Structure 1
């Protein structure tokens, strides 16, 4: 199975002329009645062999970690991280397999974090342990990025860096929900802007830069959405009609942003909060047994309709978007 990224590589290597590659893209878009940009492709599985490799790697790494833990609490994580890096030398660097690369990255960073936290559990301050673990994990993520260039790595490294920031703040200031929400939201804004920057370098969604932007948007979305929706709820989680309407309005705003950006991560991240709020609202009106089914039916069909009319809606919305913003997002076709 060949991806759009493979077509781009073929053009760069001179295997295919740009005109033929673009003609093929146009043909695929015509067959699917949707532009390539709107489908929001990202490389994950090229064949069942990817799944086969993942199953084998997970079995081997879990077994290796278990054996290492019998000798020392930190050794299992260290062995897993080292083995995952070694496997990536072949499956990522040479075979360029997307799903195994993602899984191996997770095991590598997770193994490092596990090893550090279990080796320094005797530290008096839990914040110091987490700070050190996130710091080392961030360094490994940076090294992994420069070695393998897996699109997820940048988002994973930023997530670890955010962990450093939260751990440091928890050591300096008394723990506060408000401080945590402000910190996460601020980090979400910065990650979101970085995602826009990566997106602006590949507005046609044809290279790995688009994959990097996808994962950055996926990281930014919960960081932005969670503090906002949690703030809307009272401490006793008693949902009122006003809160439900505000939640709906906010979700519509996020949907409009998703259409402009041609990214669905914001909508997906906020979906659970919308379901919870309206489910709680129906419960307050006495609709207990069928509340979840009603909400699921309405939201499910609504999202399906949005998927069907995504491109026409985006065309209409982009007409009122400032030109400066249009230069940062995929063009309309």
Structure 2
């Protein structure tokens, strides 16, 4: 089975013509009773070898991190003597880059590429953060939110630069989301630094700021989606990971500000959560992305469970909650395409033209990725 990215690469290499690739895609689409646009395809596995290599890479990276930590400790570079050392994550980042030169650049393996990208960006972030803490002293940061915010912002900037370099070299779709997360870390770090000693009492302000960053990430994801409305190139994969990042950044602050994380929910709050989840479901249908539904799932499960408990179904509240949500999501999955059509068709033409298409047969194939 050939992925969309492999077809794009075959066209770019001159192995097949763009017309032949388009004909193959059209043929595959005709064999399916539903449009492939609604399948939200993205490349995760090319075979079991992806899992095998990912497990081996994870073991190797763990070993490298441990050895790097021991080296840093022996050199006196550990925080507080026995804490983490910047040499551990630095070794992980260097190893991940070296492995990517083969498994990503040459073998084009999907799952290992994702793992190695996360290890590289996370290693850069952690090594810079640990190095800065070591340089200024952990005691100085412990009671200084302003300095801690600056350290977080600088570490995020280093991670964003690393993500940019990785994207220029390897073009792994999740890299853009990793870079966006790093930029968000910069912004939050600068906000915490600006708030200073009042940061601990400004929880709602920080949550609101994260919500704004999530909306910005969502709009950035929609820009990538809009550049490939038929979802035939790696741009759709980039948008997928951006949506996966934006969803919790939007959902978590909203439901936390509503008080859903305090361990209980009133009947009114429960119904508000359900209405919000319905609005999220309509949005997910319109943009043809299920990440929003998954991110808000824990909150709506908790809210419905509390409602059943309020109405006296204490012994069966968990089972009834699972029954309601599970049945609803399965029905939505089974009739996703029909539900999308019902949501998208009444929208204004200008807005419809920015959303993933419902009927791909009348839209020309995009040229290039």
TM-score interval (norm. to shorter): over 0.9
Residue 237 to residue 113, structure 1, CA distance change in 2 (3 Å)? same
> CA shift at 1:237, angstroms?
4.3
1:275 matched to 2:301? The reply is: yes
Q: What aligned pairs does 1:114-193 form with structure 2 within 5 A after superposition?
A: 114-121=126-133, 122-123=137-138, 124-125=140-141, 126-173=148-195, 174-175=198-199, 176-193=202-219
The two structures have a TM-score, normalised by structure 2, of 0.85
Alpha-carbon separation, structure 1, partners of 2:262 and 2:338: 41
Alignment-derived partner of residue 41 in structure 1: 41
Alpha-carbon separation, structure 1, partners of 2:338 and 2:194: 50
1:84 matched to 2:125? The reply is: no
Alpha-carbon separation, structure 1, partners of 2:205 and 2:213: 12
The question of whether the paired residues in 2 share the 8 Å contact of 1:2 and 1:46 is answered with: no
Alpha-carbon separation, structure 2, partners of 1:214 and 1:89: 24
Q: Which runs of 5+ in 1 are unaligned?
A: none
> CA shift at 1:127, angstroms?
2.7
Paired residue total? 333
Q: Which runs of 5+ in 2 are unaligned?
A: 73-84, 142-147, 360-369
Alpha-carbon separation, structure 1, partners of 2:26 and 2:57: 38
Alpha-carbon separation, structure 2, partners of 1:194 and 1:324: 18
Task: Tell me the alpha carbon deviations over residues 275-299 of structure 1, each in whole angstroms, 9 at most, x when there is no partner.
Answer: 1111122233343332222111111
Residue 252 to residue 235, structure 1, CA distance change in 2 (3 Å)? closer
The question of whether the paired residues in 1 share the 8 Å contact of 2:247 and 2:291 is answered with: yes
Alpha-carbon separation, structure 1, partners of 2:86 and 2:352: 49
Alignment-derived partner of residue 112 in structure 1: 124
Alpha-carbon separation, structure 2, partners of 1:193 and 1:268: 19
Residue 4 to residue 155, structure 1, CA distance change in 2 (3 Å)? same
Q: 4+ runs of 1 displaced by more than 6 Å?
A: none
Task: Tell me the alpha carbon deviations over residues 96-115 of structure 1, each in whole angstroms, 9 at most, x when there is no partner.
Answer: 11111100011111212222
The question of whether the paired residues in 2 share the 8 Å contact of 1:221 and 1:269 is answered with: yes
> CA shift at 1:236, angstroms?
4.6
Match of 2:296, SS state, is helix
The question of whether the paired residues in 2 share the 8 Å contact of 1:105 and 1:153 is answered with: yes
Match of 1:120, SS state, is helix
The question of whether the paired residues in 1 share the 8 Å contact of 2:96 and 2:116 is answered with: yes
Residue 106 to residue 39, structure 1, CA distance change in 2 (3 Å)? same
The two structures have a TM-score, normalised by structure 1, of 0.94
Give the one of 98, 102, 112 matched to 2:110.
98
